Structure 1
Amino acid sequence: MLGDSITAGYGLARPEGLPARIQARLRQAGRNVRVIDAGVSGDTSAGGRARLAWALADRPHAVIVALGGNDALRGLTPAQMKANLAAILDTLAQRDTPVLLAGMMAPPNLGRDYGREFTEVFESLSRENPDVVFYPFLLDGVAGDPALNQPDRIHPSAEGADLIAQRMLPFIETLLDRVRVPASG
C-alpha cells in the first residue's frame, strides 16, 4: 500500500493502522495475504513517485495507491498530482501489477474550483486506466467524523482505520481477483 500518513498509521500502533486492518479483514475473509505498509507521513504524489522503485523491491503482487492528500494540503496543482499518479500507474502497468487507486478530496478551504479539479484527477485516471480498480474516496465514512478521527481531525483513529478497511474490502477483493501469482518452480 503506497501512501502517506493515512497508510503509515500516523498516531496509531502498527496493528491499528490501515494496512494491518486491511490484512486482518482479508484474512478473516479467507485470503492469505500480507499487506506491506509503504506509507510515508507527509508524502505527496511526487514523493510516492520518487520512491516507487523502493516500494516495489518486495515484488508485491498488487498495489494500492493512496496518495494525494498532502498535495492538497500543500496547495500543489491538480495537474502536477495527475502527472505523478499517471507515472505511478504507468510503471505498475508496465510491470503487469494490478492496482487499486484510492481517491482523495481536497479540503473545502481551497475553494470549489480547486476541489473539483482535484477530484477530477482521480476520476479521469480511473477512466483512462480501465484495468485499475477505483475506490473514489479513501476516507469515505470517516472524514469529518470526530468519533472516527484523532484529535487533529485529519488522521483516522483505530476505529476509523478499521471502518476504512471494511469499506474498501470489496474493492480490494476485486483487486486480488486480478492477481496472477507466478508459478513457483
Structure 2
Amino acid sequence: MPLFRRYGAGRTLVHRAATLCFVGSLLALVAAAPVRAADRLIWALGDSLTAGYGLPPADGFTNQLERALRAQGVAAHVANGGVSGDTTAQGRARLLWGLRGLHAKPDLAIVELGANDMLRGLPPTQARANLEVILAELKRRRIPTLVAGMRASPNLGVPYVRQFDAIFPALAAKYGARFYPFFLDGVAGNRALIQSDGLHPNARGVRIIVQRMLPHVRRALGAPPAR
C-alpha cells in the first residue's frame, strides 16, 4: 500500500508539524533523562518520526527503544535528536550542535531523515548530498551509525522513487554504516497503527517499529543476540 495516500495533504501536515512541534522537540533535547555512567549512549538524529510527534513522551520512538533495550538486558540511554518538520538540510545544519549537546561521544547514532524532503518534492540529489555530509562526519568521528531508510510515495513518479529510495542503502554501504531498509516497516499503510493525520505512527505503531528495528540496533551496538 502507498506510504502516503495524499501528497498534498501530507505536505501541509508536515508544515503544521514543524510549526507546532519545533519548540517542543528542542525542549525534549534539553530535558533528556540523565545518562547513567554505565549506559551505552545512542543518539537518534531525525525528524518527527524520531521526535515522537503527536505522542506523549513515553510513547515516542526513543523512549520505547530505550525501554526495549533495557528489557533485553542492554543498559542504554537513547537521546532524542528528532525535530519535527526537519529536512535533511536542517538535520545537517544542527549535526555538530547536537553532538556537542550530548557531552559524550555516542556509542551509536541512528540517522532517520529524508521523509520531509520527499513530502516536499525536493530533489533526491539534495537529500543525498546532505545525508552524505552527516554520515561522513559521523564516520570521521568513529561513531557507529545505523541508517534508517525511507521510501518515496509512488505518486511522485517512478524516476523520483527509484532515485530517492536508492539513497539510503548506497550511502550506508559507502560509509560502512548498518542499514535498516524502511523505518515504517510493518506500519505504513495500516490505519490501525497510524495517527489521524495519516502520516505518523501511533503508540502501537511505534512499538512495532521498535520491535523490528531492535535486532539491528543490538548488532550495531555489538550486543549479543537476544535470547
> What's the TM-score, normalizing by structure 1?
0.93
* In the alignment, structure 1 residue 63 sits paired with structure 2 residue 106: no
* In the alignment, structure 1 residue 42 sits paired with structure 2 residue 85: yes
* In the alignment, structure 1 residue 163 sits paired with structure 2 residue 208: yes
- Please point out which of 31, 54, 61 is paired with 1:11: 54
Q: Deviations over 1:6-46 (max 9, x none)?
A: 00100000000011111011001101100000000000000
Identity %: 50
Q: Distance in 2 between matches of 1:13 and 1:66?
A: 20
- Segments of 4+ moved more than 3 angstroms: none
Amino acid at match of 1:123: P
Amino acid at match of 2:82: G
Q: Which position in structure 2 is the counterpart of 1:176?
A: 221
Q: How far 1:66 sits from its partner (Å)?
A: 0.2
Task: Report 1:68-107 matches (<5 A).
Answer: 68-107=114-153
Q: Which position in structure 2 is the counterpart of 1:51?
A: 94
Q: How far 1:107 sits from its partner (Å)?
A: 1.3
Q: Distance in 1 between matches of 2:141 and 2:149?
A: 22
- Please point out which of 137, 141, 144 is paired with 2:186: 141
Q: Distance in 2 between matches of 1:119 and 1:31?
A: 32
Q: Deviations over 1:89-129 (max 9, x none)?
A: 00001110000000000112211111111001112112212
How many pairs are equivalent? Answer: 177
How large is the RMSD of aligned CA atoms in angstroms? 1.0
Q: Distance in 2 between matches of 1:73 and 1:19?
A: 23
Q: How far 1:61 sits from its partner (Å)?
A: 2.0
Q: Distance in 1 between matches of 2:98 and 2:58?
A: 20
Where do 5+ consecutive residues of structure 1 fail to align? 179-185
Q: Which position in structure 2 is the counterpart of 1:28?
A: 71
Q: Distance in 1 between matches of 2:220 and 2:98?
A: 18
- SS at structure 2 position matched to 1:42: coil
Q: Distance in 1 between matches of 2:64 and 2:124?
A: 30
- SS at structure 1 position matched to 2:77: coil
Task: Report 1:92-131 matches (<5 A).
Answer: 92-129=138-175, 131=176
> What's the TM-score, normalizing by structure 2?
0.76
